[in-house]
Amino acid sequence: MTYSEVAHFAQTWGLALLVAGFLAAIAYALWPGNRAKFEHARRLPLEEDDNGRA
């Protein structure tokens, strides 16, 4: 295999891998079972700590 063949293979399958990873991240973020986890994380900065500070 020449360098250009390897580069073409890496570019093609690298793009496919990045698209698949992006779609997996979007599916994870929008999955209905994760709603409670994300709601808790959204409110976390506003909750008071042990010292009574927000």
Note the pTM of the prediction, 2 decimals.
0.64
**Confidence band, pLDDT 50/70/90 cuts, at residue 54:** low
Annotate 26-50 with b (16+ C-beta within 10 A) or e (fewer): eeeeeeeeeeeeeeeeeeeeeeeee
Tokens linked to 43: 């409110």
9 close to 3: Cβ distance less than 8 angstroms: no
Cα–Cα dist 16/6, whole Å: 15
| Domain boundaries along the sequence of the chain | 18-48
Q: What is the pLDDT of residues 13-48, one digit of tens each?
A: 999 999 999 999 999 999 999 999 999 999 998 888
Distance CA 22, CA 47 (A): 31
Q: How confident is the model at residue 51 (pLDDT cuts 50, 70, 90)?
A: confident
